[in-house]
Every structure is written in C-alpha cells, then in structure tokens.
Amino acid sequence: MAARKRTVPGVDNGATEGDMPDNKHLKAGTKRNVAALILARGGSKGIPLKNIKMLAGTPLIGWVLRAAVDSNLFSSVWVSTDHDEIERVAKTWGAKVHRRSPEVSRDSSTSLETIQEFLRLNPEVDVVCNIQATSPCLHPFHLQGALDLITQQGFDSVFSVVRRHQFRWKEVKQASTDFTEPLNLDPNNRPRRQDWDGELSENGSFYFTSADLIRSQGLLQGGKVSYYEMLPEYSVDIDVDIDWPVAEQRVLRYGYFGRDTPEFIRLLFCNVSGCLTEGRIFLSASGEEMVSINTRDTTGIRMLQEQDVEVILLTSSIDPIAKSLSDKLAERTGCGVCKVGMEPFTELLPMVNQRKLDWKDVAYMGYDKQDVKCLNLSGLSAVPGDAPTVAINAAKYTCHKIGGKGAMREFAEHILLQKEKAKSQKDRIDRSSF
C-alpha cells in the first residue's frame, strides 16, 4: 500500500494524507539500528572510478557521506566497495567499510544482492538506507524527513522522488512501421502546467527499507510504501561524463557543505607559498631570486575586500622571498601580512579573538601539513589542486587550479557564492515568517 503525500510548497516534508498505517514489522517510535549504506564499486564503466572523482572540490562520494554523517540519524555509516582507493576515501570521510565479496562485485551484480550480503554480515541492523553516491545535492534534512516516515509513521520502505511535468508517449513497434501513443495525457485536452500535479519519478537519491522486508521478501520497495519528495534543484544524478559540468554548477549552489558552513566570512588567511606562488624560483643572470604571481589571484583578493572580507597573507621565516612578495602585495592591495611558524594556529588564534570572531567566520587557504589544523577548524577552507594529500583531506574545498595559477581567485569565487547562498536562504526564511 502506497501512502499519498501532501507537499508543502517550497518545503521537502514527510506529511501524508489518509489513515496512519500500522506496521507489524516496525512499531512507531521504537529505537532501531539504522544504517546508511553507500554502494561504490570500483568498476564503473561510464566514468572510471566515478565515485571518488573530484566534483566541485570534493570526491563525489564525499558529498553524500558528509550529509549522512552530519545528519546524526544513523547508528553507522558504511561504504560497500571492492576497491582500495575508494576504501581509503570512505574512511577519510568518516565511514566504515564493508569490503564486498567477489560474488557481488561483478558487472551483473545488483544493488539488492550487495545489500543482502551487508545485512547477513550485520544482523543487528533494523533499517538500511541505501544512499546513491551519484546524488551530490543530498542534505541531512532530506534524510531526516524520510526516516521519520519509517520510525514515526511505520512504513516499510520510503524512497526519494522528484515531481516532473513531462508529457510521455509510448513507442509502439510494428512490422511495417513504428508509431506512438500518448502515455500520460489526452492530446485533445492538454493541461496547463499549473493545472496538472505532474508525476512522481524516482530521483535515485536514497532508499530506506526495513531489514525485515529485505531478509524475508528480498525487496527494497515493498510492504507499506511511502515516498519523500525532493525539489528539482536537489535532484541531481550523475551517470555519464556529460552530466559532470552541469552537476558541478548545481552542487556549488545547492550542495551541502557541512553543518559548520558559515553564514558570513569576515576574514581570510592565505598562505603565500604554494597558494599565490607555484613553488618555482627564477634566477636572473645576476643571481637574483624571483617568483611570479597571477593577476587573477590578486583580482580574487580585491573581490573579497569589496565584500568586506579582510585578507591577511601568511609568510614563513624560512621563505624570505615570499615575505618580500607579501610586502609588495600588501602595498598594492591593502592586505595585512603575518609571519607564522610550523603551527600557524598558534599565531592566528589571537588575531581571530581580537576581532571577536569564531573560527567558523574565518576562511583559510593553505597548502601543506602545517596547515591541517587551520583547514579543519575554519568555516571555509581550501587548498590548490596540487596540494599534498594530507592537506587535501583536511580542506573543505579543493581547487581545480594549482598554486600560483588562479587557485586564490577560484577560492574567492567559492567564498562569495557561499555568502550569496546564505543570504538567499536567510531571505527565504525571513519571508516565510510573515
């Protein structure tokens, strides 16, 4: 039996119309072991190792893992994989790993077979949420709304959908010629969009199912079924390469960047070495050492300053050339300059406190191991695309551009986009309060 849902305009919710279902398998309100499971096989044919390919500065699988972990809904969050590198990335993002067997790692293996194996090895699980790694605009509130339908309203299975207003036609094949017939409309009475509720289509983002239903009937969708409607802007699915640039733009605007994402950034610390320079030193004929900077990066700094973001350049005593460069940049852009040691946090904390800011109001752009603590603590943090793995793992955003080649400009645009998103969300909340 499928429940008929009512959608509140502009809000994803789990409201239902009709009688409250009773469920012999899952009593409403009972505390259950709920596991999130992301299936990430290493043998993707469309896009090789798609699940860990970088999307908008984050591994694809990292987007859904961040949402699942931050939701605090799950007893455990798992990635099921057969690949060493996917396992490493999954653990970096806070997941446990189910190392799937060769029997469920074939091209012909189904999601159901993999989930059944997971449940055999984890008999304590009562509800499993199969989250698709290819749905990077998933937010914790989506998962909360769907899980409530199972834990509070007693459904056996709940899956995500998106509402589509598309007229569909059926292909009819005959020996002489092919023709078509209407599938969901009367051509003589084509409805206006505003007069038609549209149709619900699976968007592939997630599937909640009681473990009993999977174990006893081998079904991911069955028993008493409900759905959770997601708005179109969140319904992103990546299947082939052509989807990638579109998804990247969508996730920058609608993706979930973490529960500590700041409403406003007031201060940016940026390492000169490795971020504004590319790591090369030029020697003149007279033996003078020189480095180069990119005008796109200085433009990025000015873009932030125009939006009342204070920019402070960080240098090291072991890099006198960077110090000289910072002084020149400070003259041209009005940036502050601060010399830091092997633990920048020690020197920067008093500066943050002096400005009466929290670290979530601070952005940080670093490059190497010594930057890890600041990268972790800052509300927004980034590294150039050529940064070492230890820094990439700590940053919230990895630039496409490398150091000295526009990475600073890219991060500046990212900061301003997040600021715009926060303002839009605040405006929407303010309007809804009237």
- Residues marked active site are found at 190
Burial category of 368 from C-beta neighbours within 10 Å (exposed 0-12, middle 13-18, buried 19 and up): middle
- Distance CA(137)–CA(247), nearest Å, equals 9
Within a 13 Å sphere around the CA of 354, how many CA atoms are in the beta-carbon half? 6
DSSP SS3 for 211: helix
Burial category of 4 from C-beta neighbours within 10 Å (exposed 0-12, middle 13-18, buried 19 and up): exposed
- Distance CA(211)–CA(216), nearest Å, equals 8
Inter-residue contact 414 to 381 (CB < 8 Å): no
- Distance CA(152)–CA(29), nearest Å, equals 5
Provide the residue type at 74 as one letter: F
Please tell me what DSSP assigns to residue 2. B
Percent of the chain that is helix, strand, coil (3-state, to 5): 40, 20, 40
DSSP SS3 for 12: coil
Inter-residue contact 365 to 381 (CB < 8 Å): yes
Which phi-psi region, left, alpha or beta, contains residue 44 (left: φ > 0; alpha: ψ -120 to 50)?
Answer: beta
Please list the alpha-helical segments (H only) found in 262-396.
295-306, 320-333, 344-354, 372-377, 389-394
- Distance CA(209)–CA(160), nearest Å, equals 12
- Distance CA(260)–CA(257), nearest Å, equals 8
Inter-residue contact 126 to 147 (CB < 8 Å): no
434 Cβ neighbours under 8 A, 6+ residues apart: none
Which of 202, 209, 223, 77 has its CA nearest to residue 147?
209
